[in-house]
Amino acid sequence: MDNTIIYYIMGGSVGLFVLVVLLYYILSKKMQKSEYKRIQRLQEGTRENKFSTEILLQKLYLTYIKIPFIKRYVLKIRRRLEIINVDDEYATRKGTAKILTKALVILVPLIVITIIITYTNYLLMFILLIFEIFMIDTLIDGSVDKIDNRLLREQLDFFSEIRHAYHEYNMVEEAIYQVSQDDEKDISRQGEKIYEILISDDPETEIEKYYDIAPNSFLKEFAGISYLTKEFGDRKVNGASLYLKNVNNITQEMQLEILKRDKLNYVFQSLSVISIAPVLLLEPLKNWAISNFSFTASWYQGKSGMIAQIIILLLTFISYILVRKLKDNGSTGMNTKNTENPWQARLYKKKIIKKIVDLFIPKEGTKEYRKVGQLLKDAASSQKMEWLYTNRICLFIVTFIVSIIIFSQLHAVAKNYIYTEPTTDYDIIGGLSEKDEQKAIELTEQDNKILDQFKGKTNTTDEQIRMAVERLPYYYEEDEAEIDKAVERIREKLDVINSEYMQWFEILLAFVFAIIGYMAPIWILMFQVKMRQLEMEDEVMQFQTIILMLMRIERVNVEIILEWLERYSNIFKAPIAKCVNNYEAGAWEALEQMKEEVSYTPLIRIIESLQAAVEKIPITDAFDELDSERDYYQEKRKESNDRLIKRKGMIGKIIGFAPMVCMFVGYLIIPLVFIGLTSMSSSFTSMTAVQ
């Protein structure tokens, strides 16, 4: 009976399985002919895989923004990208996460390897970590600059297509709309934004807003010319469209800028690395010198060697900053600093800090206040006066504290060298044998026992040292000459140890260094002003191009030209802005006042032409030479750019190679020669005394 039931169960299971298979086959046949298959095919192109790079980058962005140190770089990158991406938060986050992830993929393994290799040498570890942070900073800026340069190159094709579309539609907004349909390009977003401005209810207000967020001045010019053409209409000049002629002028400006950037990148592409390379070579050079010339150990491992290392590190840091500022100065890249609520502003809001900082800020209306304010303007700095002085005071305090710590560490290094260095007379070349090294270490240990007894006792006599030496078992069988030699050696060591403490002149030096730190932000601003002065000619030539584009547009007057010049000015922004503000009170007088404030001759000529256009002749007649001598000005602009790049390259090479030269000359050659000659002189003196 039991077996029969089992057979029934088995037969039923097999029958049920066959039935399920038949049903599945019938249903699948029907699905092949139904709408289900069509829907399935449609979903294949839209369904996301389990692993999505897009989603991963978005999640990584949300993670990065929460990490304090990395958050600084996230904000720095996105400030550049969000301008290029124009309100596309998804693309901004994706680009930010992509650049930062690439940087971290390089940085994290480097940090781990550095810590593993140098865990016994904290100084070398610190040096290498600084080097890696500098390199990542350079890599991130380079990645964002590539995007900025790519946008500039895309603009060339964009403007070329605008010409063809304008011929077809003969309407500015329609031409921009048609060319902006390529969603794969960054420039298409800018084109769509300009199109939305042109068809908006209040294009004048919207175009002013766009001027504040445009990625570069060329898009500002294009948007402005497109707006003026839409408002006032196009016209024929020598049988050609004025709008297309202006677009062609902007294109020529962009071509010059692209060439300039490419040349600057070529000149500076390795200078940033060269300027910070010495931090990598300090320890290898030291180890090589000690292993081959053992007499240099006392210099490299003592206080003098550490001072030299600190000087080279400071010089490297300063050179790196100056090279970066030299390369970036005058570029069309946007300012990536947080100008709304930086740490200086948050610190200044605290009542106690505010009271302290206000004591140092010059009173408004004083000569010093005007001088610092003018310096900030000339340097095109986004800092406010209170932020600058918060920086200066913080640098003063930090520099003073760090200087005291370094002086204390120098004393500790000198003492440690006395206690740990094997006690022996070195050969001029080569090191000690293993047997001699063991003997030298044992002798050092014996000396340390005496040093521990008398450390800090400045009134110790040679007789007391002699008695302590004679009590050591190590010297039981030694003769008087060896004991005298040991007493003399220990006396020298004891004098060094007892003299290694913080002294009054070191406090004074720390205060001097703190004053240098306090002045550093002002000196950096002065350096920026000097570098910006190199670009005066380039900016004035850009003014000429702007005037050339505007002067033939109907209803354009001197005031509109001045507003455009102010919008695109950098070096001469302050006098032009002042002239615009005073224009309503008297056009001629405002221009005359600006002429008095400006000392650059080519700009003075432009001002005089504007004065003529105010009262005497039309704008086209006042600037007719710009059109007739356009080719000459283009060639002059190219030659001016070449001179600028050569000058910057020369200054950059001097600054960039300075740490390397100082390292080889001051850290390797001079110590080897000086200490070698001193050792040889001592050896010859000893040999002469023996004879």
Q: Which residues of 253-271 are buried (b: 16+ CB within 10 A; e: fewer)?
A: bbebbeebbebbeebbeeb
- Dihedral angle sign, alpha carbons of residues 126, 132, 135, 141: negative
pLDDT for the residue 396: 93
Contacts of 617 (CB under 8 A, 6+ apart): none
Distance, in Å, from the CA atom of 258 to the CA atom of 414, rounded to the nearest integer, reads 54
What averages of pLDDT result for each successive group of 10 residues across the chain (691 residues)? 54 59 58 50 50 77 83 80 73 84 83 77 72 77 81 88 87 88 78 88 86 84 88 80 87 86 82 80 82 78 82 85 71 45 80 87 86 81 85 92 87 79 57 66 76 77 79 74 78 80 86 92 85 77 84 82 85 85 86 84 86 81 74 77 84 87 86 77 62 53
Distance, in Å, from the CA atom of 192 to the CA atom of 38, rounded to the nearest integer, reads 35
Secondary structure letter of residue 233 according to DSSP? -
Length of the chain, in residues: 691
Angstrom CA distances, 554 to 228, 542, 549, stand at: 9, 21, 11
Q: Among 496, 504, 414, 405, which residue's Cα sits nearest to residue 455?
A: 496
pLDDT for the residue 471: 78
Distance, in Å, from the CA atom of 40 to the CA atom of 88, rounded to the nearest integer, reads 31
- Biggest alpha carbon distance in the chain? 126
Contacts 24+ apart (CB under 8 A), 299-306: 299/671, 299/675, 300/671, 301/413, 301/417, 301/421, 302/413, 302/414, 302/417, 303/410, 303/411, 303/413, 303/414, 303/417, 304/671, 305/671, 306/409, 306/410, 306/413
Contacts of 553 (CB under 8 A, 6+ apart): 228, 229, 232, 235, 242
Work out the number of other CB atoms within 10 angstroms of the CB of residue 669: 11
Distance, in Å, from the CA atom of 619 to the CA atom of 562, rounded to the nearest integer, reads 12
Distance, in Å, from the CA atom of 202 to the CA atom of 25, rounded to the nearest integer, reads 65
pLDDT for the residue 1: 44
Distance, in Å, from the CA atom of 324 to the CA atom of 329, rounded to the nearest integer, reads 8
Q: Among 580, 386, 415, which residue's Cα sits nearest to residue 502?
A: 415
240 has which bridge partners? 237
pLDDT for the residue 445: 77
Quote the Cα angle for 299-303-305, to 5°: 50
Centroid of chain to Cα 54: 28
What is the pTM for the complete model shown?
0.69
Evaluate whether 413 touches 405 at the Cβ level (below 8 Å). Answer: no
* 3 state DSSP class of 111: helix
